[in-house]
Amino acid sequence: MERGRRRIQIFSLLLANSYWLFPWKDRIFQGWTKRICFPGLNCYSCPAAAFSCPLGGLQNAIAGIRPAFAVHQLHFGAYVLGTIGIFGSLMGRIPCGWFCPFGYLQEWLYRIPVRKFSLPRIFRWGPYLFLLFFVVLLPLFVVDVVGFGSAWFCKFVCPAGTLEAGLPLLAMEPGLRRLAGMLFFSKLAVLFAILAGCVVTNRFFCRTICPLGALFGLFNRVSLLRLRFDSDRCVQCSACRRICPVDISFFDGTDSINSGACIRCMRCYTICPAGAVSIDLYDVRDHTVQEEKGGS
Instruction: Give residues 223-242 in contact with ligand SF4 (rule: CB under 6 A).
Output: 234-240
**Does the footprint of ligand SF4 cover residue 91 (CB under 6 A)?**
no
DSSP β-bridge partners for residue 278: 228, 293
Stretch that binds ligand SF4, among 168-176, 191-199, 204-212, 264-272 (CB under 6 A): 264-272
161/213 with CB nearer ligand SF4? 213
> Cβ of residue 89: shortest distance to ligand SF4, in angstroms?
18
Cβ proximity of 222 and 89 under 8 Å: yes
**Does the footprint of ligand SF4 cover residue 210 (CB under 6 A)?**
no
**Does the footprint of ligand SF4 cover residue 214 (CB under 6 A)?**
no
> Could you tell me which of 232, 244, 231, 233 has the C-alpha nearest to residue 271?
244
> Could you tell me which of 278, 293, 3, 53 has the C-alpha nearest to residue 164?
53
Q: Between 35 and 74, how does the x/- string for binding to ligand SF4 read (CB under 6 A)?
A: ----------------------------------------
**Does the footprint of ligand SF4 cover residue 276 (CB under 6 A)?**
yes
Residue 58 to residue 44: CA distance in whole angstroms:
12
Residue 105 to residue 107: CA distance in whole angstroms:
5
What is the DSSP code (8-state) at residue 37? B
68/237 with CB nearer ligand SF4? 237
Stretch that binds ligand SF4, among 124-132, 137-145, 205-213, 270-278 (CB under 6 A): 270-278
Distances (CA, A) of 184 to 15, 39, 112, 157, 198: 27, 26, 27, 10, 21
Q: State the amino acid at position 259 in one-letter form.
A: S
**Does the footprint of ligand SF4 cover residue 272 (CB under 6 A)?**
yes
Binding residues for ligand SF4 (CB under 6 A): 234-240, 243-246, 248, 251, 262-268, 271-274, 276-277
